[in-house]
Structure 1
Amino acid sequence: MTQQIVHRHVFEQQDALLNELFQQIAKVADEAIRQHGKFRIVLAGGRTPEALYKKLVHLDTDWNHWFIYFGDERCLPVDDPDRNDTMARVAWLNQVGIPPEQIFQIPAELGAEQGAIHYRQTIATVVTFHLVLLGIGEDGHTASLFPGNEIGITTDSPDVLAVMNAPKPPPERISLSASRLSRSEHVWFLATGVGKSKALKMWDSGVGLPVSAITPFNGVDLYTDRPDK
């Protein structure tokens, strides 16, 4: 497996971290739109991404060129408040002008197996994502790739995995695989709060965690509000 390169960005306060992410997303989006005519971003769930999404409502950009994807989803009914796409829509997407047909939600309401099949077809023509946002769980999981489970690290792994036994409820989920997440120009991990310190220390020490399996060519960027020591 390719050696992971990690670029660290440590902030004293979460507000400063969010402001930097806001500015960097603006730059990456502008560059992608200028070069390719579109900006493909993969969204994460969690508290820190939600705070970021609320800020992005105020971004000065041409939303017509944005294409939205999701890194994972819980197998729950449409509009369930615990779904990642529900959070993103309420915090951000419903308030800006991204064409609805350019928001590609994971159909997790179909169940893990069928939903994964559908989303593989949805992203089959996407060669590279421009930006992937990911969180870090206290056990070192990211998206719905959990320690001890199949995370799809080989080049012949499915791009989208059906997760049947997640250790956190609900047990059925759908996730982009590690190899698919790695096919991205930029991958940014957002890890804030005291609860992430243990996972960051394990990551630093070389423990084989799912977060370590995301290996894009340009490396990954870690944005954290806590010194990793």
Structure 2
Amino acid sequence: MSLNAQTRWHTFQSQEEINQAALHRILAAADAAIAKYGNFLIVLAGGSTPKAVYQLLAKADADWANWHVYHNDDRCLPVDHVERNSKMARDAWLSHVAIPEHQIHDIPAELGNVDGAKAYAQTLAGVRTFDLVILGLGEDGHTASLFPGHVVNNTADAVPVYHSPKPPADRITISQDRLNNTHEVMFLVTGAGKQEAVDQWRAGVAIPATLIQPPQGVDVYCFGVQLA
């Protein structure tokens, strides 16, 4: 099957519309997974668009006791640093709902990219296929901490990132293979700054985001970009 046949594009007319669509998609995926498996495994993205969705989730009614939360990447900074994805998710959402603490799996990026990646790979060991992975898209086409020109490291479920083109240089990311081991993927793409990356993606250019192609394909939710 071709790349674009596996990539479903959805456009929205306002920030509120895309936020609500993402919210409903997440809650529906949770209900389906809990009905089927008894739990819901979600992988979070950082960034401003996911943050707005997480703030909506903080006010939602869900079977929180059966949610298990992971992160697709994080920056090697102190735990309480404002640019940590884990801190953003906790401040916006996770600290406000009744997900058991032991089911919130932050990447221990404060340990450094090598030791933190090893620790997170151990956390992911034996974890079943994810139910929903949320991803963003950088202006350079990156997703998670999979960057253009970087060798893709699939040696473990979580791997160190060196020399990130966006600071800080040291990061940890879930590997391409593990991100593809999921039932659903939802990209959240907003803002005109993402236009070039979207154009490249739709033209078949091999930007990092195109590495994420699980068997069921991906859904790209867009606002503020044109789909030619």
Residue 213, structure 1, aligned to residue 211, structure 2: yes
What does residue 194 of structure 2 align with? 196
Secondary structure of the 1:48 match is: helix
Give the Å deviation of 1:227. Answer: 2.7
Counterparts of 1:65-144 in structure 2 under 5 Å?
65-144=66-145
AA matched with 2:57: L
CA distances 1:120-172 after superposition (whole Å, capped 9, x unpaired): 000011120000000000000000000011223xxx63211100110010000
What does residue 34 of structure 1 align with? 35
Using structure 1 for the length normalisation, give the TM-score. 0.96
AA matched with 1:214: I
**For residues 48 and 139 of structure 1, what CA distance do their matches in structure 2 show?**
17
Counterparts of 1:164-179 in structure 2 under 5 Å?
164-179=162-177
**For residues 99 and 158 of structure 1, what CA distance do their matches in structure 2 show?**
26
**For residues 213 and 188 of structure 1, what CA distance do their matches in structure 2 show?**
14
What does residue 227 of structure 1 align with? 226
Secondary structure of the 1:98 match is: coil
Secondary structure of the 1:171 match is: coil
Preserved CA contact (<8 Å) 1:157 1:179: no
Preserved CA contact (<8 Å) 1:151 1:210: no
AA matched with 1:193: G
CA distances 1:57-109 after superposition (whole Å, capped 9, x unpaired): 12211100000000000000111110000000000000000000000000000
CA distances 1:8-51 after superposition (whole Å, capped 9, x unpaired): 11011111111111111111100101111100000000000000
Preserved CA contact (<8 Å) 2:45 2:135: yes
Secondary structure of the 1:151 match is: coil
What does residue 23 of structure 2 align with? 22
Secondary structure of the 1:122 match is: helix
Give the Å deviation of 1:206. Answer: 1.3
Identity of aligned pairs, percent? 47
**For residues 87 and 212 of structure 2, what CA distance do their matches in structure 1 show?**
25
Give the Å deviation of 1:3. Answer: 4.6
Give the Å deviation of 1:111. Answer: 0.3
Secondary structure of the 2:115 match is: helix
CA distances 1:195-219 after superposition (whole Å, capped 9, x unpaired): 1111100111111111001110100
AA matched with 2:148: P
Preserved CA contact (<8 Å) 1:57 1:95: yes
Name segments (4+ residues, structure 1) moved above 6 Å: none
What does residue 151 of structure 1 align with? 152
Preserved CA contact (<8 Å) 1:42 1:133: yes
Preserved CA contact (<8 Å) 1:32 1:38: yes
Give the count of matched residue pairs. 226
Using structure 2 for the length normalisation, give the TM-score. 0.96
Structure 2 unaligned regions, length at least 5: none
**For residues 3 and 223 of structure 1, what CA distance do their matches in structure 2 show?**
16
Secondary structure of the 2:70 match is: strand
**For residues 115 and 44 of structure 1, what CA distance do their matches in structure 2 show?**
18
**Aligned-residue CA RMSD in angstroms?**
1.4
Preserved CA contact (<8 Å) 2:3 2:204: no
